[in-house]
Amino acid sequence: MASSSNSSAPKIMASTSTTSIQKRFKYDVFLSFRGEDTRKNIVDHLYHALKDKGIYTYKDDEKIQKGKRISDDLFKSIEDSKFYIIVFSKNYASSSWCLEELVKIMECQKMEEHTAYPVFYDVEPTEIRKQSGAVGEAFAKHAKEEAAGKWREALKEAADLAGWELKNTFDGHEGKFIKEIVGEISLELRSISFGFDEKLVGMETRVKDVVSSLEVGSDEVRMIGIKGMGGAGKTTTARAVFDTLSNDFEAISFVENVREVSKASIFGLKNLQEQVLSKLLNERVTLDSVTDGKNMMKERMRCTKVLLVLDDVDDIEQLEALAGGPNWFKSGSRIIVTTRNEQVLVAHRVEVIRDIALLSKQEAISLFSRYAFGRENPLQGYEELSGKVVRYAAGLPLTLKVLGSFLCGKGKLEWEDAIERLKKIPLQETLEKLELSYMSLEDEYKEIFLDIACLLKRKCISYAITILESCGFHAIIGLKVLAQRSLITFSSRYDGELVLGMHDHIEEMGKNIVRRSREPNKHSRLWKYEEVEDILANDKGTKATRCLKLNMWRRNSRILLKGLGKMKELRYLEVFFANYDSESDLKFDDKSNTIARIVMKGLRKMKILGCLEVFFANHDSESDHYDSESDHYNSESDHYDSESDHYDSESDLKFDDIRQCFTNSLKYLKCTNYPFLYLPKTFQANNLVGLKMKHSRMVQLWEEGERKVEELVLKKLKFLSLSQSKLRTFDLGLTPNLETLSLDRCAQFEELHVLVACPNLKILNLRKSRLRSLDLELIPNLEELDLEYCDQLVEIKAPVGCLRKLVDLNLDGCLRFKDFTFYSRCEPKVNCSSDSLYLDGRSINSCPLHPNSNLPKFEFTCIYEEYLPSSVGNIEKLISFGLCACTDLEKFSDMICSLQCLQKVTLNLHSEEIEHLPDSICMLKHLKYLSLKSCALLEKLPEDIGQLESLQSLDLSFTRIKHLPDSICMLKHLKSLNVNNCSCLGKLPEDIGQLESLESLDLSFTMIKHLPYNICMLKRLKSLDLYTCGLLEKLPEDLGRLECLKELKVRSEKIEYLPDSICMLKCLKSLYIDNDLLENLPENLGQLECLEELRVSSKKIEFLPDSICMLKRLKSLRVGWCCRLEKLPEDIGQLESLERLTLWDTTIKHLPDSICMLKRLKSLELSHCALLEKLPDDIDQLESLESLDLSTTMIKHLPDSICMLKHLEGLTLDYCDLLEKLPVDLGQLECLEELRVSSKKIEFLPDSICKLKHLKGLILLHCDLLEKLPVDLGQLECLERLHVSSKKIEFLPDSICMLKSLKWLIVRDCSCLGKLPEDIGQLESLIHLNLGATKIKHLPDSICMIKHLIYLNLEDCALLEKLPDHLPPRFISASSELRLHSGVNSGSSSGGSNSGSSTSGSRQGVNDPS
């Protein structure tokens, strides 16, 4: 494809809107051509190729009689065509008929629905564009005709379009050329007009996604999968894709219901093979067996390019029989497989799998409305009811279709009844479709699915896995299987935790499966309170119940708990109890704890209980009620009854009555708000896998002396959480196989006994405890350790190697560490040594644990990254040093030095006590990065700093370093040396040139007087910063020897000249010179061939060297505070790469004409050039200019050509006091977004200003002679800010009320302004209105309609009599501003009264930018 600018093919840009309606055209393509040149060759072949593809094409074969006008019918045919193919040939321009046709095509091309493509047959695009060569000769005879002008323009426009050029495509092969054109047109027609049924809402985007994945243009065999839950639209999407692409293949077949047909009989798969072969081969095929079918498919289909859709596949055997592999098919074939089971696709090596998306809210409303009302949106009065249905459907197309069809034609009462019914009785048709996925599961996965549907939805995945595994399920593979079948989803919570999700209808389906038993007491899982209450109150419990949720925050607790006894196989129980008195120290025989004991007694008959979760009353008013295992409590369970605390005293039970409440078969026990100090002594817990006791009063597991030591060992326990309990100590010897221990927020916990090895313990959480020491020696496989806010912790014993598997360590809030971040080794690499340590220490006044210590006290922010072999032991050394704030710097340094293989150490010590570093820091042989930034009292470095042989970066900025030790010159690998703001540093080592690797040297804000001569030996130096080196007198004469220097900054009050050798810096890209004594720049500055940025500032420079115009790569030239600079070089226009030119505070009077040659210039800033009187007349040649600032100049008028700057976005004319008027055609600045004008002579604005459609800001300050604003100002549809101050404006044009985007309206100091437009309330976006110091007497009532107004300033409106009667209170709310200083009668209205009370004198509004 060719055009004037490039040869890229036209891109397919179909609309992604799901609701837009495409215009239908009579013809797909209109062919425009010169018959005598092309009718019998390319046009004839192209026409038939389009026709064969089913593309309806108009081709005019009528002979044109000379002098006859083009027919109206032909014009109508052009208007009725979607695409135009214009075949340009040598004699095309000789026909006035063709040219008129072309003019009409170009008119239609500008409309959104039409697209024209030129085909350059035996001519080039430039010949058409310029009417040169053979085309020029053909057009010559029309040169004097009246229509010649519009014909030329049409030819130029057409030649600029993207199209096809025969000689540059397929080496001029006409057949391939035509195939390319037809293929592109076919693809574009497909993308814009899928031919979908009008009820297939949202299909365009989904189909385009699948088509894109198929990559139809490639020659490979490509197989993709479409997966999703039942009823989500997999089949519909696949059918739409099939219909869209079917014309591109030699044979096609859509095989429906593969699962159903294949399993309907023993010959199911063979029948499907016969169906596929018969369809693709277009002959009747009979097979003997499935194996026979496979062989035949491999043999026969490899010769045919096929499109095959296999719908609803659920078994790998089906794919192996129908699409065994890519080698079965011819190149270019495409196979689409839809399934509910992703594993089928994975097992068959299908690489591209698309997950079908459910409908958005808007799409759902549209689809439902089309079935319910036969239109796009709900009927009036049915919007709310339709919303309820859509929310119930939750994006599932099947449900929307079924309910839409069912409710069609019914009245509101019937709708309301049907919706109410759905709350109790799910939609059967949807559930039956969804249940197919459940039925294909294995028994264990069915149990896991039902547990999630009834109990674990919205729970954290880690918690769900713990529950499921404790009950004997293989949870990890089970969740994977369910996710692959689209039965569950995983989503991230706000804190990054993964949460189990499930579509509402799938949840309904699961609960419906459980409810199928006629009686609720035979359900395997119970969660509805009404059902649970009925079963337990009437003693109807059975063995069928495995899981139960019980809300005990209601009455009749004794009766309900009595019914639990018959549930012999209950394995999951949640009970929520009422609050109890936190003052009572409850024991098992405490009669005051009535309800808890009732519960315990009711549990005693559950002899083989598998899982128990009990929620006791919360006794601690300060407890954290949030449970991390779930996003929120189940809405069906958490009904708090304020009367539930009143229980029947007759239900009091003694401890002996509940001693059998926990059976020894129990595998998972969860109690929340457990009210007792111990577990029952009769509870053996021999089979216990998980124990979670949150918000409990427990002080230890069992009361001392009640059980023998050997009986206490819980050998099967893996998960133990006693968070927020009263526990003080715990012995890990009780739980030798424990994997997770959480004592989170046990505020009284003081000691963890680790007397035996705990090889299985991986997670240890002791957050917010009173622990003082911790021994980790016998916990060798720890992966997560949380000690956050353990502010009593002094020491951790962690021998080298004992934390070799640690990946997550939290020490935030300990006394030593304010923040502690640890990135551990994830995938250790061979010979990898990239550890880094960042320590930012800030001194604190005292250590709470050692108030009398004389050692410095520090609180650190620490970031430690480790990717090393486990034997190194750095993390053990780091945390074993001690955790209180007292810091012995010598030992601290020794500890850091003992850390091996550190590549990067960043050490910030913010303290007024540190004056030097310990010498031992020089022992860090692998140290590469050292930062001592902001060590404000640090005066010297160790003399042996040069021993840091690996050091690459040294930052000493903002210290009191007075000199650098000579040994620093031995740092052969040092790349960066930063001493900026070392205000005491007066010199550099004389041998600084020995730093052979140095790339960056920052000496800014130092007291250095001279640079060592050998600094010029730094052959690799790229950046030299001498900014504000106030005492520096000169630069080295051989500065040009720094052959790699790219950036040089120099600012000094004493430098009078630059060495000529500076012009030898061939790599220099940025040069910044700020020296008031500098009189001139080197004459040969133009030799800096790589220079991209030049900044110059000097009070003595009078001119820039002419050679500056040789800087071909210069992008930015900024000259500021050069008050003697009177002119620029005349050839400044030769700076062909210049994008930014700033001349600030110079005495330049005019700009050289050549400046207009700067074709890439985007920004021209001439602010404070107080003598500048005019701009070049040809300024419009700055075709890339986006910003022009002429503030504070003497310009009297702007050249008219300024209006031709098509890319100008900002024009600033502040304080141009001599400017008399703006150009009449200012409105031609079509991209202008901000216009700022300040002039004492401008009397009017040109009307054309109203054509600035993109203008967002119009600022007219101190335009004292301006009498009025343009009448049509309201046409500025994008205007957001209007600021006007003038002493003559008496009114604002009414059209201002049309400014729908206006947010800021400021007319302060318009002292003659007497009123506002009455319809000011139509400014719907206005948030800020400043009317200060005007003559306004009253505000229009409509001002109360401005919904978003938050600032209203009426200060110094001396004539203002009253405020509107209904001024909204929000104008005077805490979040709004109302400023009054006028004669307003505060009692004149309610609004005035309120407003008057909030006056603040004459002070200006806080948010007022004026």
Q: Kindly list the catalytic residues.
A: 101
Cα atoms in the Cβ-side hemisphere of radius 13 Å centred on 979: 25
The answer to whether 474 and 444 are in contact (CB under 8 A) is: yes
* Distance (Å, whole) CA 90 – CA 37: 8
Phi, psi of 352 (to 5 degrees): -105, 120
For the chain, how many residues are written? 1410
3-state secondary structure of 419: helix
φ/ψ of residue 1026, rounded to 5: -120, 30
Residue 346, classified by CB atoms within 10 Å of its CB into exposed (0-12), middle (13-18) or buried (19+), is middle
Give the span between the Cα atoms of 652 and 486, in whole angstroms.
50
Distance between CA atoms of residues 586 and 591, nearest Å? 9
Backbone phi, then psi, for 691, in 5-degree steps? -135, 120
- Six token digits for residue 552: 């005990």
- 939 in Cβ contact with 960 (< 8 Å): yes
Q: 241 is written with which tokens?
A: 């894709």
Alpha-carbon distances of 321 from 234, 298, 325, 1218, rounded to whole Å: 21, 10, 10, 88
- Residue 303 tokens read as 């010769």
Amino acid, res. 126: T
Among 993, 991, 970, 968, smallest CA distance to 979 is for 968
- The owner of tokens 């300040």 is 1238
3-state helix, strand, coil in the chain (%, to 5): 30, 15, 55
Q: Which stretches of 1244-1330 are assigned E, i.e. beta strand?
A: 1257-1260, 1281-1284, 1304-1306, 1328-1330
Beta bridge partners of 353: 225
Cβ-based neighbours of 425, under 8 Å, separated by 6 or more: none
Handedness of CA 1284, 1286, 1290, 1293 (dihedral sign): negative
What is the rounded CA–CA span in Å between residue 1026 and residue 1008? 9
Whether 46 contacts 59, CB under 8 Å? no
Angle (nearest 5°) at CA 764 between 760 and 768: 165
Count CB atoms within 10 A of the CB of residue 1144: 18
Which positions ≥6 away from 613 have C-beta within 8 Å?
572, 573, 574, 575, 668, 669, 670, 671, 672, 692
Q: What is the CA radius of gyration of the chain?
A: 42
Angle (nearest 5°) at CA 774 between 773 and 776: 155
Tokens of 400: 């929307």
Amino acid, single-letter form, for residue 683 = F
HSE value, Cβ hemisphere, 13 Å, CA-based, for 670:
19
**How far, in Å, are 213, 837, 840, 938 from residue 906 at the CA level?**
48, 6, 8, 16
